[in-house]
Amino acid sequence: MALSFTSIQSSSFCCLFFFSCALFVIAPPRVEARYHPTSSVASLVSEDLYNSIFLHKDDSACPAKGFYNYSSFIEATACFPKFGRVGTIDTRKREIAAFLAQISHETTGGWAAAPDGPYAWGLCFKEEISPQSDYCDSTNKQWPCVPGKSYKGRGPIQISWNFNYGPAGEAIGFDGLNNPDLVVNDSIIAYKTALWFWMTERKPKPSCHDVMVGKYRPTRADRAANRTIGFGLVTNIINGGLECGTGTSDARVNDRIGFFQRYAKIFNVDVGPNLDCAYQKSF
């Protein structure tokens, strides 16, 4: 499960938080990548393609049936103008595939013998089942918990904890601390929170976006911790404390990779290097 946050406002509200995102591709160091402001994610992900990726999201067995619709995804991406719009066409497709893979793992309803395979069951859940706590960090005074509210995992990337709901809501335009349930009541809000998490740098962690488009340059600390650029580093950003640095392949990491490999094939792009984070120290 990843961290947590939320969003409200009307579906036409777009955050202004991300205009300083990536300008480089995963190519040679210091090579500036072109930003494509007139392009759109919809030009790379049609509704038919979206539905072919998430074959079973609207099955009756999925608690999120009918929630994660294509139009909400596309409308939410319009609020994050660098998502899927930086770099070569392959770089752009690879970032989208990586994002969809990570949210698929976080919301999966699949199992080994599932119809169409385990990687056809993303977006089956919209909130954490049987959370172990309210995910309240009482030591965080900047984003204090509201009594009676739970900051459990919600939405496509299962954002959790008050220190994520608060800033996500502020960036997107809603009261995340007082109204965390909005993430499971409005699909546009849900997708905006996932994209907020994807696009946001939290030092010493880079943003997932910067990693996937090649803007991020590993620091000396990263090199010492074997944190190499690739999909594995994105997993480390999202849930490295539980899944990375074990020295052996983690089943959860392998599930993320399985989704990514399937989606990359659908987009007709390679997955790039360093898929795993088994030997990466977590942040």
Q: Please give the Cα distance from 264 to 188 (Å, whole number).
A: 24
Measured distance CA(269)–CA(73) in Å, rounded? 21
- Give the Cα separation of 216 and 68 in Å (integer): 30
Quote the tokens at residue 206: 């880079």
Number of H helices, E strands in the chain: 9, 0
Among this protein's residues, is 106 annotated catalytic? yes
Tokens at residue 23, please?
């300008």
Which three-class secondary structure state does DSSP give residue 48?
helix
Catalytic site residue from 106, 127, 170, 243: 106
Query: At CA 236, angle to CA 235 and CA 241, rounded to 5?
Result: 120
SS3 168: helix
32 strand-pairing partners = 24
Q: Which residues are catalytic?
A: 106
